[in-house]
Structure 1
Amino acid sequence: MEIVDVPLFDLPAEPEAPPKPKAAPVVVLQPALFETAEVLLSPLPSWAERLAVFDLETTGIDVETSRVVTANVSRLDASGVVTRRRDWLADPGVEIPLQATAVHGVATARARAEGRPAAEVVGEIVDELRTALEDGYALVIYNAPYDLTLLAREAVRHGVAPLVGPFPVIDPLVIDKQVDRYRKGKRTLEVTASVYGVDLTDAHDAGADAIAAGRVAQALGLRHGTELALTAAELHTAQIAWHDAQCDSFEDYMRTTRDPSFTARRGWPEVPAPATAPAPATAAAAPAR
């Protein structure tokens, strides 16, 4: 039975939406930060006022075997301004596939020469995230199950105490698919940032992606203020149900059109650990991301 993640695009497209009323007047929010972002006039939800953001670039797409190469954890204020930033380059201890290097630009030679031991990097990332959550920040991660699950497996692999039940998590991918379900096309961060007018000029750089994801979350909160007028805790809980429904939809489509035995990989914001432990630190790298 095939088990895969829900992709970053909608399959199938939802039925056509009913005609929308004429749009309300729009305003440009913080041009220096959001570039051309036009958002419906609405108060910023409380959960979006102080955000921690997180992104990984890795050796592959399999969360069970892939390794951290670069990472970023930053903090944003209510205007999307970065108030704290930490970046990491790790030596993952394995070859970085050429396909992964083509995505994020880090080759094996550079990681070995300039990167720090993976165990140290993973430990510092976990500590930084834990501190941000303890300080009262909501944690924004675009496609959270990928980054959080991979980080958890790396933590176990390197003997680091993992995050346990990270909360609250804000996933702009899940939210965007819920509030704008009729929009066709891909839902990658680069595409979604463009939809919400958020500048992302260096896609697949961990820092650029993390910060853009946070600003997309804020833009979502402004554009869909009525639907997202929740506390961070309420939004976290809502996303669990939204993600599960999105898995149902994708699974139904795949079983109808391609594979009757297809099963979508579930779990938000993190995929449950498998029965077996993560591969040891000397295992081969996963396929390229």
Structure 2
Amino acid sequence: MSWHQELLVGFDLETTGTDVEQDRVVTAALIRLEADGRVAGAQSWLLDPGVPIPEEAARIHGISTAHVQEHGRAPASSIAEITEALADVLRADIPLVVMNARYDLSLLDRECRRHGVPPLTDRLGRPPSPVIDPLVLDKHVDRYRKGKRALQALCGHYGVRLDGAHEAGADAAAAVGVARRIGEKYPAVALPSPRALHTLQEQAAAEQAASFQAYLRRSGDPEARVEPAWPLIPYQR
């Protein structure tokens, strides 16, 4: 059996912004989905990040500073819980599906370091794997397709239902759905080993980054650099 015919766990964050080094987690969701789409378990977290949520971010995910101040949990304990939940999944060699994993996993890593809790790599004793990233896979199997590749666009392209975009649980479930459709449609990535797929994505992500970097440099930014590491941007001490 290929990875897309087995249990998958989806993960998603909603945050204060897009800077993995500076921004904070607002909500997180982890959802276990059987091969037939049944939900086998779900966890969610609402955090008070300790900083104001910018209006632009609040417009996207619908969560305000006032709401998290009233209902959110302290960040340190929640970040520790989220990270340990991911570690449990990966220790069991269950594939963790994360749309644009380089962003979510790197931001979570920085939150761990900010709050003095062991990051995912320390808990596992190794880099996080196996991870499945629908964004990396889609670019790999359909490199020259025009148009957007955000989660909503991928759901439309692959016929995956997305109820409540930018709600962490809905996005996590949709990411799993997109990953399964890619596995079903493209035999080249329907590998029996999730770890082999992880290795393929490491290589694909590096190639995609190099291609985008070259494009930016041709387009007038000779100093442009696109991070090749996946699924985690190394922490620079």
TM range (shorter): over 0.9
Q: Which residue of 2 aligns with 1:68?
A: 25
User: Given the alignment of the two structures, is residue 99 of structure 1 paired with residue 56 of structure 2, yes or no?
Assistant: yes
Shift of 1:196: 0.7
User: Given the alignment of the two structures, is residue 192 of structure 1 paired with residue 154 of structure 2, yes or no?
Assistant: yes
Structure 1 runs of 4+ with >3 Å offset = none
TM-score normalised by L of structure 2 = 0.95
User: Secondary structure of the equivalent of 2:43?
Assistant: strand
- Does the 8 Å contact 2:210/2:228 carry over to 1? no
Which of 39, 42, 45 aligns to 1:88? It is 45
Which of 46, 63, 87 aligns to 2:3? It is 46
- Does the 8 Å contact 1:251/1:262 carry over to 2? yes
Q: Which residue of 2 aligns with 1:78?
A: 35
Shift of 1:239: 0.5
Q: Which residue of 2 aligns with 1:236?
A: 198
Whole-angstrom distance in 2 between the partners of 1:71 and 1:48: 25
Give aligned pairs, total.
232
Q: Which residue of 2 aligns with 1:204?
A: 166
Which of 146, 156, 180 aligns to 1:218? It is 180
Query: Could you tell me which amino acid in structure 2 is paired with residue 216 of structure 1?
Result: V
Whole-angstrom distance in 1 between the partners of 2:7 and 2:66: 37
Whole-angstrom distance in 2 between the partners of 1:253 and 1:162: 34
Higher helix share: 2
Whole-angstrom distance in 2 between the partners of 1:168 and 1:175: 14
Shift of 1:267: 1.1
TM-score normalised by L of structure 1 = 0.78
Which of 94, 98, 111 aligns to 1:141? It is 98
Query: Could you tell me which amino acid in structure 2 is paired with residue 58 of structure 1?
Result: T
RMSD: 1.2
1:114-160 superposed Cα distances (whole Å, 9 cap, x missing partner)? 00000111011011111112233110000001000000000111111
1:160-189 superposed Cα distances (whole Å, 9 cap, x missing partner)? 111111110000100000001121011000
Q: Which residue of 2 aligns with 1:255?
A: 217
Larger gyration radius, structure 1 or structure 2: 1
Which of 117, 122, 130 aligns to 1:168? It is 130
Alignment of 1:111-130 (within 5 A): 111-130=68-87
Where do 5+ consecutive residues of structure 1 fail to align?
A: 1-43, 276-289
Change (3 A) 1:91 1:200: same
Structure showing greater relative contact order (alpha-carbon pairs closer than 8 Å, 6 or more residues apart): 1
- Does the 8 Å contact 2:113/2:119 carry over to 1? yes
Whole-angstrom distance in 2 between the partners of 1:85 and 1:219: 21
Shift of 1:89: 0.4
Identity of aligned residues (%): 47
- Does the 8 Å contact 1:47/1:231 carry over to 2? no
User: Secondary structure of the equivalent of 2:47?
Assistant: strand
Query: Which stretch has the larger CA shift, 261-270 or 172-181?
Result: 261-270
Where do 5+ consecutive residues of structure 2 fail to align?
A: 122-126
Change (3 A) 1:48 1:156: farther
1:9-40 superposed Cα distances (whole Å, 9 cap, x missing partner)? xxxxxxxxxxxxxxxxxxxxxxxxxxxxxxxx
